[in-house]
Amino acid sequence: MTEEQTIDHHLRQALAHLETALNQSVAAVMNDQALKKEIGKKWEMFLGDFFGYVREKGKQHRINLLGWISFPRLR
């Protein structure tokens, strides 16, 4: 497996895990609105950790990882 294929594999796995977490989050809040704030904090923490990690890796290697992504093209 090439490095590019390995990256694709890990990104597909990550997306599958995120879809599962999102589906469970929605289901939990639909069942109990009181969980909205708690689950929202979990997502906030996750996204903060992820973007923080991306920024830190970029600083370490002196590259703008977010610059690789064309945000207007995101759907």
Estimate to the nearest angstrom the gap between the alpha carbon of 72 and the chain centroid: 18
Residue with tokens 């694709």: 8
61 close to 47: Cβ distance less than 8 angstroms: no
The model's pLDDT over 45-67, given as tens digits with 9 standing for 90+, comes to: 999 999 999 999 999 999 999 89
**9: Cβ–Cβ under 8 A, 6 or more apart, which residues?**
1
Distance CA 64, CA 54 (A): 9
Calculate Rg over the CA atoms of the chain. 16
| Dihedrals phi, psi of 31, to nearest 5 degrees | -80, -30
Q: pTM of the prediction?
A: 0.83
What confidence tens digit (pLDDT) does each residue in 27-41 have? 999 999 999 999 999
